[in-house]
Amino acid sequence: MQVVNKICQHSFAGFYKALCYLLLLLLPQQALFASESQSNTAAMWENIEMRGTQQSVYFHAWGGDQQINNYIQWVAKQVKQQYDIDLHHVKLTDTSEAVSRVLAEKSASNHRNGQVDLVWINGANFASMAKHKLLALDWAGKLPNFALTNPENNPAMTRDFGVPTEGMEAPWGQAALTFYYDSLKVEQPPQTLAELLSWTKQHPGRFTYPKPPEFLGMSFLKYALIILNEDQPDNIKNKLYQAATAESEAQILPALWAFLDELHPNLWRQGHHFVSNGLALRRLSGDGELQVSFTFSAAEIPSAIARYDLPDSTRSYRMLDGSLSNIHFVAIPYNSPHLDSAKLVANFLLSPEAQAKKQQTSVWGDSSVLDLSQLTPTQLAYFDTTEKKHLSANIINVDNTRLLSELHPSWSAVITTQWLARYGVQ
Amino acid sequence: MIVANTFFTRVVRTSPTVMIALLVVPVLGGLLGVLLPAFGWFPALGATEFGLFGFTELFATPGIERMLLLSYSTSLVSTLLAFLITILILASYFNSPWLKRIQRLLGPILVIPHAAAAIAIGFLIAPSGFLSRLFSPWLSGWETPPDWLFPHDPYGLSIILGLALKELPFLLLIALGVLAQPEIGKVLKQQHKVASSLGYCPMTGFFKVILPSLYGYMRLPILAVLAYSSASVEIPLILGPNTPPTLAVAIMQWFSDVDLSLRIKASSGAIVQILVTLSLLLTWWGIELLVKKCSASWLTNGAREHGGMIIKRFTDVITFIMVSTIALALLGMVFWSFAGFWSYPNLLPDQFMTMHWQSALTQMQTPLFNTLLIAFSSTLLAIVLTLLALESEQQSNKTISAVSGLIIYLPLLIPSIAFLFGLVWMFEQVNSQHTYLNVVFTHLLFVLPYVFLSLANSYRRLDPRFSSVAASLGASPSKIFWQLKLPLLISPILIASALGLAISFSQYLPTLLAGAGRINTITTEAVTLANGASRRTSAVYALMQMLLPALFFILAWLTPKIFSRARV
């Protein structure tokens, strides 16, 4: 049934329509088959639950944020209670460390006893692991809680930066590019990319972005790239969502370089030095060196204010011309010795309880990936919280701006190489 | 001396071999693990043909000349600077009580891990740092932080400052250690007195009489400092530029890049890093020759006075600037660790609070336990191996050969970034799953040389007549070792242990790589946090990094005193 729906939705050509009808004729058998396979899935899951208990799971996840680390500790407590699983958070400074590790294991023919059981991943790291066949295949769709994301109507849940996930990773959360500023120092923050450029000219040295290939810096460049190519014809714009070619690079990138050439002289340190990550941006904002800055996890702003890392007068907003948004996932390496336990953890991460907890501003504030229409009233109750929020937790423009999708991952490498060639040596 | 053949003497006899093997096998194996990919052999990526494409790619990297130049210049200049200031301090305060005071002031800096020192200096010289706040707005007129050069300046001046401040106490302590040896120090001091009586001003006397002899003893430590600084990662990462960074930092980034094919380029980079280090050592040697040649006539020209007072004043100023830089950096860090919001340009935080310490301390338990466990294991191993090796030296009646002596320095002279990645690959090959053991083993590579250097002098200096008398009274070698030598040497052993612990505490790259990232220590957490997060939390971690080794040094220093007092 689900298969039929999906094909109908995505097909335009008459041939496929005909095929859909044909399939509809077969529906009774299909439905029968589906229910049988459902009970199969349930039995399979029971097996996984049986095999997966009482083991250790090494969860490799970026560890630079205390709030996220605390949330993972909470998850560890829960899975310990439910499945007697010992979840160890391996704190990475960069997710690529885990990618290199699994690759090193593969090169040493360690195909069964890998050190990584679960990894927090998306985008280029995922594309790289998938390309080198470093991930366990076809498991995410079989997690009981995966259905709650309503993947049929929510294609983003099965695509990572445009690349089909093919069951190699389960969605965990989603984020959108959010800007912030000190409302005591900046009266009118720039609300579009063009305004940002003119604002930096009036306030030189008070804005910067992390050096690519860092994730957040790359996201800023992608946001700029999308906006700058807005007026191009559709057939050219769409190339942003396909693998980059020499031709599409020549059509799309010049606008970005022209923009950056104009922007850089008025960046912090005149664009001679770029910070290494988004947290450094936050620190410089706290120091007053930067006045407008941005992040992918909007919830870090109120919590940074609570820890005195940002001034109390900080406010957050989304750009009016669009906000880059993406989903982040968890994946299991092909050589994890605790495959079943890792699946149990991934399923718990997708549970309404865990997702609701994660969404609370005081916990992490990362948006849930669940489709609330799929939840039962008891499950929905988890999401009812009456938190007292700091003013900065109310993101300005959140309802009147659109979300921009991530580009095809091949663009990251292209942008990085050319950026480094142009601005990497100064 | 004829030695009985007992279990103890057999263990003692094999110990030097074990020690050398423990140092050589991992280093050479690690180098092999980098050499193969450097020349194109990396089966996991399907690269199984030898070739030079890794090097071609490396030299096609934009800004590669700048990276090389930056690595070369920062380490050379910082080592020169540290060496010159060491000499100036020694010359100006030789035979003065100030020497002891300066040593006491700088000594603690030695045990501060590089990452913590870099964090502290960064806090000081940043546009919104302590220094800028001291002069704002009353002098500078800055109401918002200026957009100035430091840290991360493209010339590497911040790196030089950081490295020089870290190297200086080490060189000074080495020099004072040499002077403290009776057979060298006494002779040199007497010669200095003779020079004074011949009318040489103390400063000139130092340069003409003491320095030429003293330098010989300092050469190897200086070369180790030079080699270390050319390939160190923490200080350039935290204080250095990134358009482009130093070669070592770039190599580390390539090794951990998403694009796995960069591994080949990174391995080639590691080989080039070794060449950079080698060329630095050669440069130093060249400078040595040049100075020797140019100063030969000056040494013997008989002039008694060369502006000694001016040099003395100059040294006073330099020493004052240095000590206050360190004091301000530390003070700034203590402030940050207790700060509420701290708006610019206020000199003091807007509020003080203990919240950051509280939350950090509750999260610190596991890393703290790991740090201590690893440090104690590797130090214990190092102490046992060193004592046995030194004992075997005395039993066989000859000092370790020149080659073995150099091998002990091997992990200090070969840039660790060059062999650590290969070492991890080797652990993979032997399928060593015991991450704790891997880390302890890797730490041993760095702990052992320092422990050996620190203990060797005291052990060799121990009056041999004690052992002879004991042996003639019928004591077995093991009894002499346990009941005579160890109690006599308790003080240096404790100091060497504290040094070993401090070295282990400070290891970043070895812990990260050998531990597969699974093992968090205070240092790995501090570097992770330093690159982002909050100044407040990283100040707490950096202070913890300083407190730990300091605590053990104080213990090592106090314990023998308490015991000896108890005996009296």
Answer yes or no: do B44 and A104 touch at CB < 8 A. yes
Q: Provide the pLDDT for residue B531.
A: 64
Distance from CA of A230 to the nearest CA of B (A): 29
Query: Apex CA A357: angle with CA A354 and CA A358, to 5°?
Result: 85
Q: What pLDDT shows up at residue B432? A: 61
Which of A49-53, A340-344, A394-398, B464-468 is predicted with the least confidence, judged by mean pLDDT? A394-398
d(CA B481, CA B491): 15
Q: Which of A222-231, B149-158, B370-379 has the lowest mean pLDDT?
A: B149-158
Cβ-based neighbour number of residue B461 at 10 Å: 13
User: What domains can be seen in chain A, in order of their start residue?
Assistant: 54-174+326-396 (3.40.190.10), 178-325+403-423 (3.40.190.10)
Does the reported pTM lie above 0.95? no
Identify the sign of the CA torsion A355, A358, A361, A366: negative
Q: How far is B140 from chain A (nearest CA, A)?
A: 16
Per-residue pLDDT, averaged over A60-70, amounts to 85
pLDDT digit string, tens, across residues A146-161: 999 888 877 778 888 8
Residues of chain B with C-beta less than 8 angstroms from the C-beta of A414 = none
Confidence of residue B312 (pLDDT cuts 50, 70, 90): confident
pLDDT tens, B319-375?
Answer: 899 889 888 999 999 999 999 888 888 889 988 999 889 888 888 888 999 999 999
B128–A288 C-beta distance less than 8 A: yes
What residues of chain B lie within 8 A of the CB of A106, using their CB?
44
Cα angle vertex A273, ends A271, A275, to 5°? 110
CB distance A309–B536 less than 8 Å?
yes
β-sheet bridge partners, residue A169: A331
Q: What is the pLDDT of residue B393?
A: 82
Task: Look at residue B223 and tell me whether its pLDDT is greater than 60.
Answer: yes
Residue A264 has a pLDDT of 95
Chain-wide mean pLDDT for chain B?
Answer: 86
Residues linked to residue B352 through DSSP beta bridges, in sequence order: B339
pLDDT at residue A18 above 70?
A: no
A245 pLDDT more than 90: yes
Average pLDDT rounded to a whole number, residues B200-213: 85
Which chain A residue has its CA at the smallest distance from B350's CA?
A308
A-to-B residue pairs, Cβ atoms closer than 8 angstroms = 163
pLDDT at A60: 94
CB–CB contact A288 B126 (8 Å): no
Are B428 and A110 within 8 A, CB to CB? yes
Q: Is B531 close to A426, i.e. CB distance below 8 A?
A: no
Verify whether the Cβ–Cβ distance B243 to A64 is below 8 Å.
Answer: no
For A386, residues 6+ apart whose C-beta sits below 8 A from its C-beta are none
Q: How far is B30 from chain A (nearest CA, A)?
A: 14
Query: Mapping DSSP to helix (H, G, I), strand (E, B) and coil, where does residue B193 land?
Result: helix
Torsion of CA B247, B253, B254, B258, to 10 degrees: -170
Instruction: Please judge whether B258 and A96 are an interchain contact, meaning their C-beta atoms are less than 8 angstroms apart.
Output: yes
- Nearest CA-CA partner of B539 in B328, B335, B240: B335
DSSP state of B147: -
- List the beta bridge partners of residue B161: none
Task: Name the minimum distance, in Å, from the CA of B398 to any CA of chain A.
Answer: 43
The chain A residue lying nearest B255, using CA atoms, is: A100
Q: How far is CA A49 from CA A54, A87, A168, A339, B180, in A?
A: 10, 15, 19, 11, 68
Q: Give the helix ranges, DSSP H, for B181-233.
A: 187-197, 202-205, 211-231
| Chain A touched by B233 (CB under 8 Å) | no
Token pair belonging to B90 = 């020694």
CA dist list (Å): A287 to A66, A311, A372, B534: 20, 9, 40, 11
Residue A319 tokens read as 């750009």
Percent of chain A with pLDDT over 70: 90
Contact: A288, B144; criterion CB under 8 Å? yes
Give me the DSSP letters along B288-337: HHHHHHHHHHHHTS----SSHHHHHHHHHHHHHHHHHHHHHHHHHHHHHH
Q: What would the pLDDT profile of A347-403 be if each residue is shown by its tens digit?
A: 999 999 999 999 887 788 888 889 888 889 998 888 887 667 788 878 888 777 777
- In this structure, which amino acid lies at residue A334? Y
Q: Taking CB atoms and an 8 Å limit, are B145 and A289 in contact across chains?
A: yes
Best mean pLDDT range from A100-109, A395-404, B304-313:
A100-109
pLDDT recorded at residue A9: 41
pLDDT of A341 over the 90 cut: yes
Q: Find chain A residues with C-beta within 8 A of B341's C-beta.
A: 286, 308, 311-312
Strand partners, A57: A87
Q: What separation in angstroms does the CA of B198 have from each of B303, B524, B552?
A: 11, 56, 46
Name chain A contacts of B344, Cβ cutoff 8 Å: 287-288
Tokens, residue A409:
């991952």
Q: Each residue of B104-136: pLDDT tens digit?
A: 777 777 778 888 888 899 889 988 888 888 888
**Cβ neighbour number for residue B188 with a 10 Å cutoff:** 20
* Stretch B371-383: mean pLDDT: 95
Nearest C-alpha in A relative to B429: A108
Nearest to B512 by CA among B528, B498, B501, B499: B528
Is pLDDT at A294 greater than 70 in this prediction?
Answer: yes
Is residue A5 pLDDT above 50, yes or no?
Answer: no
| CB nearest B528 (choices: A64, A96, A98) | A64
Residue A172 contacts residue A72 (beta carbons within 8 Å): no
Burial classification of residue B240, based on how many CB atoms lie within 10 Å of its CB (0-12 exposed, 13-18 middle, 19 or more buried): buried
How far is CA A145 from its chain centroid? 19
Rounded to 5 degrees, φ, ψ at A180 are -145, 160
pLDDT band at B98 (very low <50, low <70, confident <90, very high): confident
User: Is the confidence at residue B38, as pLDDT, over 60?
Assistant: yes
Using a CB-CB distance cutoff of 8 angstroms, which residues of chain A are in contact with residue B244?
424-425
The reported pLDDT for the residue numbered B3 is 59
Better pLDDT: A259 or A28: A259
Assess contact for B506 and B526: CB atoms under 8 A. Answer: no
Contacts of B528 in chain A (CB under 8 A): 63-64, 91, 93
What's the mean pLDDT in A277-294? Answer: 90
Nearest-angstrom CA–CA distance, B159 and B153: 9
Lowest average pLDDT, out of A74-83, A130-139, B480-489, goes to: B480-489
Record: contact B242-A98, CB cut-off 8 A: no
Residues 81-140 of B with CB under 8 A from A: 126-128
Distances (CA, A) of B533 to A22, A213, B56, B539: 58, 19, 38, 11
Gap from A420 CA to chain B (nearest CA, Å): 7
Q: CB B517 to CB A97 under 8 A?
A: yes
Using one digit for the tens of pLDDT, what is the confidence trace for A188-199?
Answer: 999 999 999 999
Query: A356, A383 in Cβ contact below 8 A?
Result: yes
Q: How many helices (H) and strands (E) does chain A have?
A: 16, 11
Among residues 514-533 of chain B, which lie with CB inside 8 Å of chain A? 516-518, 520, 525, 527-529, 531-533
Lowest mean pLDDT among A36-50, B217-231, B261-275, B304-318: A36-50
pLDDT in tens, B503-533: 999 898 889 888 877 788 888 888 777 766 6
Question: Would you call A311 exposed, middle or buried from its count of C-beta atoms within 10 A (0-12, 13-18, 19+)?
Answer: buried
Mean pLDDT for chain A overall: 85
User: Using CA atoms, how far apart are residues A172 and A351, in angstroms rounded to an integer?
Assistant: 10
Q: What is the DSSP letter of B129?
A: S
Measuring CA to CA, which residue among A342, A324, A344, A323 is closest to residue A333?
A: A342
Interface probe for A, chosen from B260, B261, B523 (most Cβ of A below 10 Å), is B260
Q: List chain B residues with CB under 8 Å of A285.
A: none
* The pair of three-digit structure tokens given for residue A318, joined into one six-digit string: 């989304």
Is A270:A262 a contact under the CB 8 Å cutoff? Answer: no
User: What pLDDT was estimated at residue A13?
Assistant: 47
Give the rounded distance of the alpha carbon of A286 from its chain centre: 25
B359 touches chain A (CB under 8 A): yes
Nearest CA in chain A to B425: A104
- Interchain pair B534, A269: CB under 8 A: no
* Region at B517 (left for phi over 0; alpha for psi -120 to 50; beta for the rest): left
A61 Cβ neighbours under 8 A, 6+ residues apart: A68, A72, A89, A90, A91, A92, A95, A119, A120
Give chain B's end-to-end CA distance (angstroms, integer).
35
Q: Which long-range contacts (CB under 8 A, 24 or more apart) does B117-120 make?
A: B117/B162, B117/B165, B117/B166, B117/B235, B117/B329, B118/B162, B118/B234, B118/B235, B118/B237, B118/B238, B118/B239, B118/B530, B119/B238, B119/B333, B119/B526, B119/B530, B119/B538, B119/B539, B119/B542, B120/B329, B120/B330, B120/B332, B120/B333, B120/B542
Q: List the one residue out of B227, B271, B224, B228 whose CA is nearest residue B251.
A: B271
B440 vs A367, which has greater pLDDT?
B440
pLDDT 10s digits, B254-278? 887 767 778 889 999 999 999 999 9
| Strands A56-62 vs A118-121: parallel, antiparallel or unpaired | parallel
Query: Kind and range of the H or E element at A120?
Result: strand A118-121
Looking at the complex, report in whole angstroms how far the Cα of residue B284 sits from the nearest Cα belonging to chain A: 29
